Structure 1
């Protein structure tokens, strides 16, 4: 079993660095182009299951990449619930709360790291019952959380796994140690690869 983790394309708030949890933003026109650019890469993978966050930006990315009809909504793939920090930038939050780190401190009125870790573990448990190559359309911070938990790290280590909009990552297993989970590919941007080929 292999998991293809896809972050949604660009939104207005991903451009400005505002935390976007429950706010149901659509993709920007550029984000739509990024999502379409995923299609050639993802078509090669022959997915047995496609799971998608219920948020519009993730569903739109899944649809524009060509997998909308094959997808199933998975609520646990939603982005971190930022609570009182929804729509705010990390730098602005740290002006009010010096030293704040979402991966350690969570969000008042939203999710704590333990909540997000539990969600990631539920997703992994569900994925582990499936076979073949799976597609998961999700979000930046939750995708990082999922990767950290996939390889057995504490959730706080997710802060080291940056995910760009419309990126593709692969979570799998070591061929020689089938009980060892690995990160086979991280943060590949299909739109960049296509642009380079066209130049």
Structure 2
């Protein structure tokens, strides 16, 4: 019988006031809305029965709250590399406002003035990938949408500037990356699963950066 290779589960945080309004939420430390708290609990129901060797969460409270309400607060470790993109001067602004000034702006190609470049975010993602690949069992990460999209690209060995824009995510969604057919070929196992959320899935505020 073949040994199953580990899976890395990726949980996006629940709804915040700015994810609802479409404002870029990087390091602004917003809490979950009431609806966000509810869907975080539903995410916990989705994760029941799964066993994780390690659970890591972003230090931002929207991720930590989602982790706690999902039932993993007691075992989670804070990983600073899991924080969302630093949007610099674009923090709190909506994508349509930014593109009114810069029509061809693409976050994953251009980054943000006064914030992180795609290369800097990619370096953080590479650090996370390196650490979780060293754990020979399933891992669960609680983080944010844009960082998670970069992380998926780097897991696959893809350049995030060309590929991350296609990985749309909803709040309180669950995704997973792993390996194909018990060989060390990185793949996406599933993406943006919202079946545990009993409302119409919210389209990610940053779906088209």
The question of a shared fold, defined as TM-score above 0.5 by the shorter chain, is answered with yes
Offset, 1:190: 4.0
Paired position in structure 1 for 2:174 = 168
Q: Which structure features the higher share of helix residues? A: 1
Shift, 1:25, TM fit: 0.2
Please state whether the residue corresponding to 1:5 is helix, strand or coil.
strand
Which of residues 8, 19, 37 in structure 2 aligns to 1:3? 8
Is this contact kept in 2: 1:166–1:190, CA < 8 A? Answer: no
Structure 1 position 131, deviation (Å): 1.8
Secondary structure of 1:179's aligned partner: coil
CA contact (8 A) 1:168 1:190 kept: no
Aligned to 2:76: 71
Using the size of structure 1 for normalisation, the TM-score is 0.94
1:35-89: CA deviations, max 9, x gaps? Answer: 0001121122111100000000000000000000000000000000000000001
- The structure richer in strand per residue is 1
Q: Which residue of 1 aligns with 2:3?
A: none
Aligned residue number for residue 54 of structure 2: 49
Q: Which residue of 1 aligns with 2:191?
A: 186
State the alpha-carbon separation in 2 of the partners of residues 8 and 149 from structure 1.
20
* Cα deviation digits, residues 10-42 of structure 1 (max 9, x gap): 000001110000100000000000000011211
Aligned length: 194
- Cα deviation, 1:98-140, whole Å, max 9, x if unaligned, reads 2111010000110001001111111000111112110000001
Task: Give the distance between the partners of 1:66 and 1:151, measured in 2 at CA.
Answer: 29
Counterpart selection for 1:92 from 94, 97, 102: 97
For 2:31, the equivalent position in structure 1 comes to 26
- The answer to whether the 8 Å contact 2:46/2:196 transfers is no
Q: Aligned pair 1:111/2:116, yes or no?
A: yes
> What is the RMSD of the two structures over their aligned residues, measured on CA atoms?
1.2
TM-score by length of 2: 0.90
- Aligned residue number for residue 158 of structure 2: 153
CA distance in 2, matches of 1:112, 1:91: 20
